[in-house]
Structure formats: structure tokens, C-alpha cells
Amino acid sequence: MLTHLPALQVLIPLMAAPLCLFLRRPHLVWMFTLIVSGLAFLISVALLQQVMVSGPIIYEMGGWSGPWGIEYRIDRLSAFLSLIITAMSTVVLIAAQTSIDKEIPKNRQIYFYILFLFALTGLLGIVSTGDVFNVFVFLEISSLSTYALIALGKDRRALWAAYQYLIMGTIGATFILISIGLMYQMTGTLNMADLAVLLPEVAQTRTIFAAFAFFVVGVCLKLALFPLHLWLPNAYAYAPSIVTAFLAATATKVAVYLLIRFTYSIFGISFSFTTLPLQTLFVVLGLVGVFVASTAAVYQKNVKHVFAYSSVAQVGYMIVGFSIGTTAGLMATLLHLFNHALMKGALFLALGAVMYRIGSVQLSSFNGLGRQMPFTMAAIVAGGLSLIGVPLTVGFVSKWYLVMASIENGWWPVAVLILLGSLFAIVYVWRIIEAAYFKDPVAGKEPAKEAPLAFLIPIWLLVGANIYFGIDTRLSIQVAQAAAHSLLGISP
């Protein structure tokens, strides 16, 4: 049983999804989904432990060994990512039923869970598999279900946002497929480990250059790197609240994973960073993205838009860390993957709670909420502080490592820009605090009640994690460090 864990992690949600149809009652389906996701979480914890102790696990699907068969390859990075994904999906699911009761008609609620499980399967599959074509397949599974999930939003604009995301996502996936095809053409293999061996021989060809270019652009679309982020704000803003929380905490993270996996493990760092001008391009795009997206966030009227743009800015930070290309830089990115999932999970769930009580997340409807929904607003403040990077929160830890990494590399202007970027975060978080605590509620409107426990429990779990991992950094740093070391081929 234990040896099958890598496959089970992906298979359990995949098999569970159609089973939901038999359960019929939304509440039952919710419990079932929650259990499945919890199970996946336990598996990922077990896998992470195993990987940290004894190194990568290679699982051969159906007993066919690579490079002919499909193999699953769980190393520290994959295990770290699947831990983030399953943990976030489980926490977010706690609030799911309460939230979608108000946002999705009863007869479509079961489909929500089915799609959710498919999205989970896809994301877990991407991080577990050791086969590039398999990556594409899982990418499509997760993307298609995500498009449908977004379209479930009660705002009619959700359809339009989902459609845009569909087009852009498909272009991205197609680019990745083209890249995979070109690589297959040159090497005749789809196995990642095999590709890593065979690619250097043909690296100096235009085909491989083109393959790399297509891959980079495709994956940048998926991770919403500026200026390819235009699909993201609307998709986040009009999707059902739970979907937003789940996507913000996981989907872009998986795209960053793909970027790291392809550049470090498949193409190799010397090819990616020295042969091709990836570094300069990414640092510039990352930093410009931080500033443009943060500025955009400052002017948004819909709070979901604010945090969506802030997500684009955070992706900018991750890309900057990634492009530094040292262990410290990579570690900063991995830490930020983890930490950003915690902050955005908490923030979007809290927005979900506001949506549940008020029915709107326009900034103007936050007026006076500080007194009416004290726990929810306190969570937004805590999450916001973490986003800014205030000490004693996870945001501080990741900013610290990011700035340290850039200073160590001698890029101190970058370090200064990163810190300046935090000032923008202060401004957009402040606008929400100002509305909630300093403005009087709209006269004549019935005061809102505090969010139900189904919301408060997961929200405060995440806020607690924001603070806990901001103080006791052993787990996150240890794993991120180990993953960065193994990616760069340094024995710890």
C-alpha cells in the first residue's frame, strides 16, 4: 500500500470525482470531498516525510519502467508542492458548502465538487509526474475544470472571465504542447530524467531554442507573469469565492513549479540561464510586474480585484527570486510559494465570508465592517500585514530571504526595489482597513453579522499558520532549502 502512495495521491481524487454523482445530496458530497482532500493531504505529508528522509521516490505506472512507461517521480520539490496544494484545498473546503449555498444554485452544487476534485487531481498530477506529456494532460484536466469552476460564479461576468481564461489558458497549454513536441522531435523521449540526459547533446539547435521559448511563454501565461496576467484579475474576481481562494493559493504556484521543474531539472540551469537571456528578461518583467500590478491594485474598487492584482505582484517576487539563480534565490521563491498560499488563502476566504454576509466585496461595502464582523476583518488585517511583510508573519520571512538573496548576488538595486514594492502593499491594504475601521457604515443598511464558524475556523487556521510559520520557520525553511539544494544538485 505504502509503495503506491505516489499514484494514489492522484488517483483518489480522480476516482472520487465521478462518485460524487451517486451521492446526490450536496451536503454529503461536501463531506465526501472534504474527506478525499484530507486523505490526499495525509498522503502528501507521508510522502514528504519519506522524501526528506530517503530521497526521491520513483513509481512506475503499471510496472512499465521509464523511459517507455510513464513514471511518477516524487522529489522534495514535488512533495513540498503537493503538501501546499492538498493543505490549501482541505482548509478551503471546510468553508465550501456554507459559501456556495449562497453563490451557486442547489442543482449545480454537486458539479462544483466534481470539478473541484478534477482540478485537484490535475494540480497534483502535474507535480507528481515524471513525464512531460503527462504534465500536459494534467494541465488540461486542471485547466478545463478550472474554467468551468470560474463560470459557476453568480455574477454574469463570470462567464466572460472564464471564456477569456479559456482562450488564454488554451494558448498557454498549446505553447507548452508545442514545446514538448519539439523536444520529442529532437530527442525521442518524453521522460523528464531521460530528457535531462539527452537534451544537452542537441541544446545548441534552433529547435530547442524555440522549444524553450514556447515553453517559457506558455508557462508565463499560466503563472500570470506581467504582461501576460490580463486574464487573472477578472477570473479571480468573478469566480465563486471558494474557487478564488483555492486558485489563488494553488494554481499559480503549480505554474511556478512547472517553470522551476523545466528550467532546472530538464533544460538545466546552464542552458536556461547562460545560453539564453532568461535571467535579464525575468528580473525586468518580475520587477515591472510588481510595480504595475501593485499600482493597479491601489486603484481597484472591488476588493477581490485588489488582491488579484496583488497576486500578480507576488508572482513578480517569485520570478525575481527564481531568476537570481542561486540556492538562496530559489529558496526564497519556494518559501514564498508556501507563504503566499497561506496569505492569499486567508485573505480570499475572508473575502468569501464578507461575500456571504454582505453579498458584495466592493470597497464601499466594507464601510464600518470592522465593528460588525470583527473576527473576519481582523483576519484581513493579519493577512494584509503578512502581505506587506511585517515581522512575525510569513510575509516577512519570504521578503527577508528574497532581499538577502539579491544582496548576496550583488543585485542591491533589486533589493531596494523589492522593499519599495512593499510600500505599495501598505497602501492597498490600508484602503481596506480605512474603509472597515474608519468609515461609518452606510446609513439605513442593516448591520452585518459576524461570519459563521464554518468560515471563521478555516480563516483563522490560515491566519494562525501565517503567524506560526512567521515565527517558527524550521519546517518551511528546512523543506525549501532541501528542495533548492537538490534542484541545484548540491548534497545537503
Partner 1 sequence: MWMLEIPPFVPFFIGALLVLVTRGLLRSVIMVAIPVISAIHLWSVPEGLLVQFAFLDYQLTLYRVDKLSLMFGYVFHIAAFFGVVYALHVRDTTQQVAAMLYAGSGLGAVFAGDLLTLFVFWEFLAITSVFLIWARKTERSYRAGMRYLIIQVLSGVILLAGALFYGAENGSLEFGYIGLDGIAGWLIFLAFGIKCAFPIAHGWLTDAYPEATVTGTVFLSAFTTKVAVYALARAYPGTELLIYIGAVMTFFPIFFAVIENDLRRVLAYSLINQVGFMVVGIGIGTALAINGAVSHAFNDVIFKGLLFMSMGAVLHMTGRINGSSLGGLYKTMPKTTVLCIVGAASISAFPLFSGFVSKSMVMTAALENGYDWIWLVLLFASAGVFHHAGIKIPYFAFFAHDSGIRTSDPPANMLIAMSIAAVLCIAIGVYPAALYSLLPYDTGYNPYDATHVLAQTQLLFFAALAFVILNLRGLYPPELRSTNLDTDWIYRRMLPTAIQYLLSTVNKVDAALRQTFLVRLEMRLANLAQRHERLSGLLSRNYPLGSMVMWVVVILASYLLLSFLH
Single out the residue of 55, 359, 391, 492 in contact with partner 1 (rule: CB under 8 A). 391
Binding mask 443-462 for partner 1 (x = CB under 8 A): --------------------
How near is the Cβ of 1 to partner 1 at its closest, in Å? 39
214 belongs to the binding site for partner 1 (CB under 8 A): yes
C-alpha to C-alpha distance for 283 and 261, rounded to whole angstroms? 18
Point out which span in 8-16, 19-27, 248-256, 421-429 binds partner 1 (CB under 8 A). Answer: 421-429
490 belongs to the binding site for partner 1 (CB under 8 A): no
Q: Which residues contact 443 (CB under 8 A, 6 or more apart)?
A: none
Give yes or no for a contact between 355 and 241, defined as CB atoms under 8 angstroms apart: yes
423 belongs to the binding site for partner 1 (CB under 8 A): yes
471 belongs to the binding site for partner 1 (CB under 8 A): yes
How near is the Cβ of 272 to partner 1 at its closest, in Å? 11
Q: Which residues contact 450 (CB under 8 A, 6 or more apart)?
A: 372, 373, 374, 375, 376, 456
210 belongs to the binding site for partner 1 (CB under 8 A): yes
62 belongs to the binding site for partner 1 (CB under 8 A): no
How near is the Cβ of 362 to partner 1 at its closest, in Å? 21
C-alpha to C-alpha distance for 35 and 111, rounded to whole angstroms? 17
Backbone angles phi, psi at 64, to 5 degrees: -85, 120
How near is the Cβ of 88 to partner 1 at its closest, in Å? 24
State the cell numbers at 415.
Answer: 533589493
C-alpha of 32 from chain center: 24
Please identify, using beta-carbon distances, which residue of 299 and 438 lies nearer to partner 1: 438
Please identify, using beta-carbon distances, which residue of 212 and 307 lies nearer to partner 1: 212
DSSP H or E run through 64:
none
How near is the Cβ of 319 to partner 1 at its closest, in Å? 13
Q: How many residues bind partner 1 (CB under 8 A)?
A: 43
Binding mask 163-192 for partner 1 (x = CB under 8 A): -x--xx--x---x-----------------
Cα dist from 291 to 226, 263, 313, whole Å: 10, 25, 7
C-alpha to C-alpha distance for 460 and 117, rounded to whole angstroms? 24
C-alpha to C-alpha distance for 442 and 288, rounded to whole angstroms? 38
Single out the residue of 53, 54, 62, 277 in contact with partner 1 (rule: CB under 8 A). 277
Q: Which residues contact 209 (CB under 8 A, 6 or more apart)?
A: 276
Please identify, using beta-carbon distances, which residue of 153 and 389 lies nearer to partner 1: 389
Q: Which residues contact 308 (CB under 8 A, 6 or more apart)?
A: 232, 233, 235, 236, 237, 244, 248
Neighbours of 38 (CB within 10 A): 16
Please identify, using beta-carbon distances, which residue of 90 and 252 lies nearer to partner 1: 252
217 belongs to the binding site for partner 1 (CB under 8 A): yes
Please identify, using beta-carbon distances, which residue of 358 and 390 lies nearer to partner 1: 390
How near is the Cβ of 274 to partner 1 at its closest, in Å? 10
DSSP H or E run through 268:
none
Task: Tell which positions 393-412 bind partner 1, by CB under 8 A.
Answer: 397, 400, 403-404, 407-408, 412
390 belongs to the binding site for partner 1 (CB under 8 A): yes
How near is the Cβ of 425 to partner 1 at its closest, in Å? 11
Please identify, using beta-carbon distances, which residue of 397 and 435 lies nearer to partner 1: 397
C-alpha to C-alpha distance for 116 and 40, rounded to whole angstroms? 14
Residues that bind partner 1 (CB under 8 A): 164, 167-168, 171, 175, 206, 209-210, 212-214, 216-217, 220-221, 227-228, 230-231, 275-277, 281, 390-392, 397, 400, 403-404, 407-408, 412, 415-416, 419, 422-423, 426, 438, 471, 473, 477
